[in-house]
Amino acid sequence: MGRMTDKSFPKREEIYWGDLEPTRGGETQKIRPGLVISNDLGNETSQVVMIAQAKSGVFIHSKKF
């Protein structure tokens, strides 16, 4: 994910769709959902955001627990 220009940034627990091309080694291809797992302060100040990739066919529940 590149640097945001409008001062918005990905927030923890948000879900983004990511194009995982090009892949390296055994990485999964395709466009898949990913959950932001890095903290908001780091996301706002860094050019790198940590995302946990979801598997294909995973149901994403919209309710917070």
Segment 49-64 shows an average pLDDT of: 70
Report yes or no: 32 and 20 within 8 Å, Cβ to Cβ: yes
pLDDT of 19 reads 79
Model confidence at 4: pLDDT above 60 = no
Prediction pTM value: 0.62
Segment 9-23 shows an average pLDDT of: 84
Q: Find how far residue 44's CA is from the centre of its chain.
A: 14
Question: In the structure encoding, which two tokens stand for residue 32, read together?
Answer: 């898949």
User: What tens digit of pLDDT does each residue of 24-52 get?
Assistant: 776 666 788 889 999 999 999 998 999 99
Give the 3-state secondary structure of residue 32.
strand
Nearest by Cα to 35 from 3, 65, 60:
60
Give the 3-state secondary structure of residue 63.
coil
